Amino acid sequence: MMRQYELVERVKRYNPATNEALLNRAYVYAMRAHGTQKRASGDPFFAHPLEVAALLTDLHLDDATIVAAVLHDTVEDTAATLDEIRGIFGDEIGALVDGLTKLKRLDLVSKRAVQGENFRKLLLAVAEDVRVLLVKLADRTHNMRTLHFMPPEKRTRIAEETLDIYAPLAGRMGIQEMRDELEDLSFRVLKPEVYATIAKRLEDLSAKSSNVIESIEHDLTARLAAQGLTAQVKGRLKRPYSIWSKMERKSVAFEQLSDIVGFRVIVGTLAECYAALGVVHTSWPMVPGRYKDYISTPKQNDYRSIHTTVIGPKQRRVELQIRTAAMDEIAEYGIAAHALYKEGSESGEVHPRLGTESGAYQWLRRTIELLAEGDSPEEFLEHTKLELFQDQVFCFTPKGRLIALPRGATPIDFAYAVHTDIGNSAVGAKINGRLSPLLHELANGDEVEIACSDGAAPPAAWESLVVTGKARAAIRRATRAAVRRQYAGLGRQILDRAFERAGKSFSDEKLRGALPRLARASTEDVFAAVGRGEMFSGDVVKAVYPDFKDERRAGGPAANGAAGRLTRSGDQTMRLTFSGDGSSQGPIPIRGLAGDLPVSFAPNGGALPGDRIVGILTPGIGVTIYPIQSAALAAFDNEPERWLDVRWDVEDSNERFPARIALESMNEPGTLAQIAQVIAEHDGNIDNVSMKRRTQDFTDIAIDLSVPDLKHLTAIVADLRGKRSVSRVERING
C-alpha cells in the first residue's frame, strides 16, 4: 500500500507547488474513516482509493482531484458525512466527493432501459465538473485490475459494462492509454481463450521482432537527423484487444495483419511534423489509402497527429504516427492535459465557470444537450454508443464548414448534423458537385450539398439507415409527430360528425374551454386521443355541453340495472353477462345481436373503459373483449366473421376491470410497499403479484389489479414511474 509521503512525492513531481498539508490531511482522514475494512482480495480497503489517486497523478491532475480520489468512498462506505468533508476540505472538494458518491450508487446493469437511464444520470453528474468523470474512470481502471477476486458472474457483468461504456468514454475524453487498458482487461475476462492466444502470438512476435523494431527506430532517427530534424522514435506492438477488433472488423487472420507494430515519431514543432512526413514518404513508398491528417482536422477529443503507413525495411509495413510533444501529451492524457487545468490556452470555447474548454468537454456537453430532446433512455443510450464507438470522416458544406461524422455516415446524417430542419426536409444531395443518392456512404474530404423541399418529411425507414444518434432521434420524433397529426386529423373528423349527430355546434374555442374536464393540455391532444380510440367522442360532446344526454347510450331495456355496458350500433338489443376474471355479474346490452352469450375479458391484461375495444365471438363459449392494441388479436386476422365492433358504456358505474402492469424495481427495503401504496391511492386493487429476481440489484414484478378505467391506470403508471426505486413500468396487454 502506498505510504503518505509517497503520495505527496508523486504529486510534487509534476506540481512542485502542491499543498502538502491538504494531501496529508486527506490521507489521514480517509485511512481513519476506512479503518479495518477489507476488499474482496483481502487487502485493506484504503489501498483502493490510494491506487485511484496514484492513477490520477499519472494524468498530472490538480490537488483537489487527487484529494477527491482519496476520499471518494468515504461517504458511501464509512461513517463520514458530506457536511464533515465540506467543513474540513472546502466546498470544491466536497462537490467532487458528492458527485462521486452519487455515481457510486449507479449500477450500469445490462438491461438496456436501466443502463440507458443510469448513463444519462452519469453524464448529468459529470456535466458540471469533468474531474468527477476522470476519478470515476480511474476508479473503474483499478477495479478492473483486481476483478479476478470477484465471483465469475459479477466479473462478466462488470467487464461488459466497462467495454460498453467506460472504455469508449475514456477514449472520447482522449485518455487513450486508459482506454486501451480497460479494453484489454475486459477482453481478458469476456474472451479468455482468445485473449490468451493473441497474447501468446504477440509474445512470440516480440521475441522475433525486437531487433527489427530497434533497427527501424535507429534507421528512421538517422534519416530525420540527416535533414536537420531532432526526433524521438518509439516502436511497440499493438494490444490484444486492438488486434482482435481489427481481425473481427476485417475478417482476417492474425498472419494477414500487416501493421501489428506501430511507431511514434515525436518532433519539436508543427512544421517539423510535415517535414518529417516528407522524409518518411521520400524514403519509403506510402501505402495508398493509409494516410490521415488529424493535425489539420483534429478528432473531437482534441487528438492531433499524422498517421501514415509505408513499406519499410525488409518489405515490412510500418505504421507511423507523427506529432509534437504537446500533441503527444494530449494523446496520452486527453482532457486532463488540456487548458481546463492549465493556463495559457490559445484556443477553445469559453465556459462561463470553467474558462477555456477542450473539444472533449464540448462533446460531453453536446451529448448532454440530447437529454433535453425527450428520447427514451434506450434511445439515448443507443445513439450515445454510436457517438462513442464510431471512427470519423470529415466532410464539408459548400461554404467550407467542417462536419465530423461517424464512419458509414450518409448525406442524411450530414443533413441532420448541419441542422434538424435540413434533415427533415432533405430530398436529394450533391457530393463533390455530382448528384448522389441520399444513402451514399460519405468519404473523407467530401463536399456535400443538401437539396431541401418545404413539404418534405423524413420516411420512417430512414431510421434504420442512418448511423448518427442525432439523425435517428430526429427521424423518430418526426415520425411520431406525423402519426400524431394523422390521428388528430381523424379525431377532428370524428368529432365533427359526433357534434353534428348531437345537433350541437362545434369549434376549437368551445373545445378549449372543456380541456380541464377532459384532462388534456390542448385541443390537438383531444383530437389525437379520439383518433387513436383513447377517448370516446360522446365524452367530448358531454364535456363541451354538460347537459347533453346521448339517447343511444341511455336507452335499452337493461340499461337501468347494468353493472357495466358495452354497446354496438344496430337495431336489436341482447343481454350479455360477465364471466371470469373476478368481474361482478351484470347485464351488458349490445344492439345488433340476438340471444344471450357470456362475456369475458382477455387474459393477461384484460381491457379498461377508455380503451378502444373489440369483441371476439367464440361459438359455444361467448364473447371475449380485447383492447384494440392487444397482440393476441393477430390470431384472429383471418376470421373477420368473429369480430364484433363494441364500445364502452359504463358511466356512473362502480364496476372494476382487470389490468396487468409489469415493473422493474430495485431490491430495496420498502419498495413493494411503495408500489402498493401508489395503487391504493389511485383507487386500484391488487389481485395478484408475481416476482422474479433478475439480478442481485433488480426484480421483475408482474401485478394483476382491478381499476375503474384507463384514466386510473394511467395515473398509477405515471406515479410509479416517478418513484426512485422503480426503473421501468408498463402496462401489459394480452
- 501 and 414 co-located in one domain: no
pLDDT for 261? 79
Task: Tell me, yes or no, whether 522 and 613 share the same domain.
Answer: no
Q: Is 651 a catalytic residue?
A: no
Catalytic residue among 76, 329, 378, 447: 76
Same domain, 529 and 414: no
Residues of the chain where predicted confidence (pLDDT) is lower than 70? 102-128, 255-256, 258-259, 335-392, 550-597, 619-620, 649-653, 734
Pair 425, 439 in one domain: yes
List the grid coordinates of 414.
Answer: 450530414
User: CA distances (Å), 340 to each of 166, 175, 312, 347, 361, in order?
Assistant: 21, 15, 40, 11, 9
pLDDT at residue 127, as a whole number:
57
Cβ neighbors of 82 (< 8 A, separation 6 or more) are 75, 94, 97, 98, 101
Query: Within 10 A of 208 (CB to CB), how many other CB atoms are there?
Result: 9
Within a domain: residue 320? yes
Q: Are residues 156 and 291 in the same domain?
A: no
As for how many domains the chain has, the answer is 6
**C-alpha Rg value of the chain to the nearest Å:** 33
Q: Is residue 131 part of a domain?
A: yes
CATH number at residue 416: 3.10.20.30
Are 84 and 179 found together in one domain?
yes
Return the pLDDT at 275.
94
Which of 307, 337, 367 finishes a domain?
337
3-class secondary-structure state, position 90: coil
Could you tell me if 165 and 32 lie in one domain?
yes
Domain that holds residue 416: 390-464
Cα angle 589, 592, 595; round to 5: 65
Q: Looking at residue 159, which CATH number applies to its domain?
A: 1.10.3210.10
User: Based on the domain organization, do 72 and 220 belong to the same domain?
Assistant: no
Give me the catalytic one of 20, 43, 58, 77.
77
- C-alpha distances (whole Å) from 138 to each of 122, 177, 394, 409 are 15, 12, 31, 33
* 381 located within any domain: no
Q: Reduce the secondary structure of 263-288 to three states and give it as a string.
A: EEEEECCHHHHHHHHHHHHHHCCECC
45 and 187 housed in the same domain: yes
Q: 301 and 185 in one domain? A: no
In a domain, 160, yes or no: yes
**Residue pair 98/712 in contact by the 8 Å Cβ criterion:** no
Residue 456 domain flag: yes
Provide the pLDDT for residue 26.
Answer: 92
Instruction: Verify that 618 and 674 share a domain, yes or no.
Output: no
The whole model's pTM is what?
0.52
The pLDDT, as a whole number, for residue 509 is 87
Please count the other Cβ atoms lying within 10 Å of the Cβ belonging to residue 724: 9
Q: Is the CB of residue 616 less than 8 Å from the CB of residue 595? A: no
Structural domain includes residue 356: no
Same domain for 664 and 638: no
Q: Last residue of some domain: 598, 620, 648?
A: 648
Please report whether residue 352 resides in a domain: no
Q: Is 91 a catalytic residue?
A: no
Instruction: Return the CATH number at 213.
Output: 3.30.460.10
In this prediction, residue 581 carries a pLDDT of 39
**How far is 632 from 174, CA to CA, in rounded Å?**
50
CATH code of the domain containing 692: 3.30.70.260
Last residue of one domain, picked from the residues 192, 217, 234 = 192
